[in-house]
Structure 1
Amino acid sequence: MELTKIKEKIFLSSPHMSDEGYEMEYIKEAFDTNWIAPLGENVNGFERELAAKVGSKAAAALSSGTAAIHLALKAAGVGEGDIVFCPTLTFSATANPIIYQNAIPVFIDSNYETWNMCPEALEEAFIKYPEVKAVLVVHLYGLSADMDKIMEICRKHNVAVIEDAAESLGTYYKGQHTGTIGDYGVFSFNGNKIITTSGGGMLVSKNEERINKARFWATQSRDQARHYQHSELGFNYRMSNVVAGIGRGQLKILDQRVEKKKYIHEFYKRELEGLEGVELMPSNEWNEPNYWLSSMMLRGKVRPLDIIEALERENIESRPVWKPMHMQPFFERFDYIGNGVSNKLFENGICLPSDTKMTDLDLERVVKVIKGLWTN
């Protein structure tokens, strides 16, 4: 009996090391100098180079993007009982650190123009909760939120703005890197991100003093003393020297990865946008996305699950759009301000394979499966 050949898997977004081997150069240096952990020149260099790349004054290399959000909230003075506005359409890692600080999330709806935080819903939230301590803004799938409107509202109410740019490294808003517009910015280097360190994150800010404080907290709040002394609660959040070496190498090819992500998006746009009921993720004149995940809305008979299952049968990975936080079992007890846009995006949205190792043949394979659902 002849065995059916398994087709090569196409991933949603998997790690992609540089062809030039930049990462190994930095890792080898760490090994050769025995600076494996806890810190070292790769950590210092990654902080300097990332800050320079995005145009921020200071950066702290941490163990994850989640850790960076946690320390940003702490740096902004968020504590027990404080209210933090957070987009509902995001991954739970955005909202979880609010709970770490014993604060209270209030979830803000999206709009169709950006898929990100709706400024009108944000205004409504400030009316209901004028005592809010901080606002978390997410740049979903590499799409920039409408930062001018959001910053104007937040500055009027004198609250700290934290940008969760975990998915948007390399995205520009009106010529400025996302993550550098608010008071604090957060990047992630998880395995599926546009560049990866296998795991890790970065906190950036114009406020160098606050970044120094974040580094202190991230190293168990160890006081400067001959003995081990701790006057504040600390965390084990620092990035290792080996991991940072991967990041330094990856940062060199960030622009290449953005170009490939854009190419993938343009391929899908050209091939799929003519199908009935298909609408690719929005574009705005002020937004230069990194197109981390090419996503689309479906408004016809073909549903996201139809596409996901059809792709799965061909060993191709895709996923639904994030399920809103206010619909999650853990978070549904918290307030939500909006009119259901995020619900609709979740119900009708799908993230397509956006792996930067994909060839044109891979893209054609994906498109053929999807188009088949409209012709069958």
Structure 2
Amino acid sequence: MGRVHLSVPHMGGREEGYVREAFASNWLSSVGPQLDAFERAFGERLGRPAVALASGTAAIHLGLRLLGVGPGDEVIVSDFTFVASVNPILYLGATPVFVDSEPGSWMMSPALLEEALAERGRRGRPPRAVVVVHLYGQCADLDPIAALCRAHGVPLLEDAAEALGASYRGRPAGSFGDLAAFSFNGNKIITTTGGGVLASPRADWIDKARYWSTQAREPGPAYHHVEVGYNYRMSNVLAAIGRGQLEVLDERVRQRRAVEARYRAALSDLPGVEFMPEAAYGLHTHWLTCLTLDPARAGATRDEVLAALAAEDIEARPLWKPMHLQPLHAHWPRHGGEVSAGLFARGLCLPSSSSLTLADQHRVIEVVRRTARRAAAPARAPAEAGVAFAGAAAAVAPAG
């Protein structure tokens, strides 16, 4: 038996042909027809202009710079996230302010965001921006968050690195904020092996980000520069992979949702096991299948389950360690933190590849059930346990 990985790339077949076109044309650097086509296709899906970059982190960095973030500014950001959502704030010399999650979605709490904005409004120093993070394939509750930002005159940046293919009230993730950042890292729902996109309804901002991403070189034959730039542009070759991947995104969403449905059907009877809530306001891609365990009821801790899976050569991970618990970021101001800390202490991500086989998924299920020692029911094969729900999940048409 081979190793079961957490989330692996899954090619659709057209990627290799597009890469061959890139090689045949000899456009291999940060310009070329594949790059243009990828940006155009992505922008059409999202409904706003987009620029392809070297990473999702680069997209957040350029997005914050477009919003004028600089030394002395505060940027409100989700506490429960990966560190890449926060580090670009420091790149620009600003201060992050962490806002905890709400239990019903695991996303940024609108109530605590209102508290943070009101507190800064009373001081007469509103934050420069709000960065809301969409996690594990689900959008935050964007209507109240966007309304609060408008009421306080603060721009909103969506960190949609984990939510490509998700939707909120029928609109795709990343189509609500002033800016949105996406990631195509190798473990994401689709990949360019490494890369990202920055999108905005403002075409002038996207043009400016494209300019900055190529070392801010001025037009003309000379290497003439008047602004600081970065080596942040995606290559034409990686964009070729992205073109093929984007064509199978809806299929990948259906496959990831079916994986989660089989896990839910096979494990939800275990005492103390709860799956990530699926909010009624949108489509959750279940990029990663996530659950929490109550040790007193489940008979095992999160770490015991992780260790048991590792012993069987199965890769699983804890949920994100919140920023206020990170030594790098523990000293910054925050609002709440108890919800994200509790999720981290109890939660884990199971193998969720869109190419995960039924046999490998059954291996995962058996280990989780065996480790949750109080479970009395025998393990059920995912093909039996999840067939009805998986069929329903596959019938859901992703927005976008």
TM beyond 0.5 = yes
Aligned: 1:152 with 2:147:
yes
Distance in 2, matches of 1:94 and 1:375, equals: 37
Which residue is equivalent to 2:196? 201
C-alpha displacement at 1:368, in angstroms? 0.7
Aligned length: 367
Match of 2:303 among 288, 302, 305: 305
Query: 1:91 corresponds to which letter in structure 2?
Result: F
SS across alignment from 2:348? strand
Amino acid at match of 1:132: P
Structure-to-structure mapping, 1:316-331, within 5 angstroms: 316-331=314-329
Q: Aligned partners of 1:8 and 1:167: how far apart in 2?
A: 27
Amino acid paired to 1:362: D
Q: Unpaired segments of 5 or more residues in structure 1?
A: 1-6
- Contact 1:276/1:300 (<8 A) preserved: no
Partners of 2:51 and 2:209 within 8 A in 1: yes
How far apart are residue 374 of structure 1 and its match? 2.8
Quote the residue 1:3 is aligned against. none
Match of 1:89 in 2: 80
Question: Quick check: 1:142–1:293 contact (8 Å CA) kept in 2?
Answer: yes
Aligned-pair CA distance for 1:79 = 1.2
Output the CA distance in 2 between the equivalents of 1:320 and 1:283: 19
Amino acid across the alignment from 2:318: P
Q: Within 5 Å, give how 1:54-133 maps onto structure 2.
A: 54-55=46-47, 57-130=48-121, 131-133=126-128
User: Cα distance, 1:54 vs. partner?
Assistant: 2.1
Q: What pairs with 1:1-376 in structure 2 (closer than 5 Å)?
A: 7-18=1-12, 21-55=13-47, 57-130=48-121, 131-301=126-296, 302-375=300-373
CA distance in 2, matches of 1:146, 1:370: 31
CA apart distance, 1:76: 1.0
Give the corresponding residue for 2:391: none
Shift of the alpha carbon at 1:196? Answer: 0.4
Gaps of 5+ in 2: 375-400
Q: Check whether the contact 2:107–2:134 (CA below 8 A) recurs between aligned residues.
A: yes
1:283 to partner: Cα distance: 1.2
Residues 68 and 202 of structure 1 are in contact (CA less than 8 Å); yes or no, is this contact kept in structure 2? yes
Distance 1:347 1:143 in 2: 21
Paired residue secondary structure (1:37)? coil
Q: For each residue in 1:233-264, what CA deviation from the matched residue of structure 2 results, as whole angstroms up to 9, or x when unmatched?
A: 10110000000000001111111110110001
Offset of 1:339 from its aligned partner? 4.7
- Counterparts in 2 of 1:253 and 1:226: CA distance versus 1, 3 Å: same
Contact 1:321 1:349 (8 Å CA) reproduced = yes
CA RMSD of aligned residues (A): 1.0
Instruction: Give a deviation string over 1:170-224, Cα, whole Å, max 9, x none.
Output: 0000000011111111110000000000000000111101000000110111111
Q: Which residue of 1 aligns with 2:385?
A: none
Contact 2:29 2:236 in 1 (8 A): yes
Give the TM-score of the pair, scaled to structure 1.
0.96
Between the aligned partners of 1:223 and 1:111, the Cα distance in structure 2 is 46
Measure the CA separation in 2 of the matches of 1:165 and 1:95. Answer: 14
Name the aligned partner's letter for residue 305 of structure 1.
D
**Does the 8 Å CA contact 1:16/1:195 hold for their aligned counterparts?**
yes
Deviation at 1:116, TM superposition (A): 0.8
| Aligned amino acid, residue 187 of structure 1 | F
CA contact (8 A) 1:191 1:197 kept: yes
Aligned-residue identity in percent: 46
**Structure 1 residue identity aligned to 2:162:** E
- Give the TM-score normalised by structure 2: 0.90
Asked whether the 8 Å contact 2:55–2:183 carries over to 1, the reply is yes
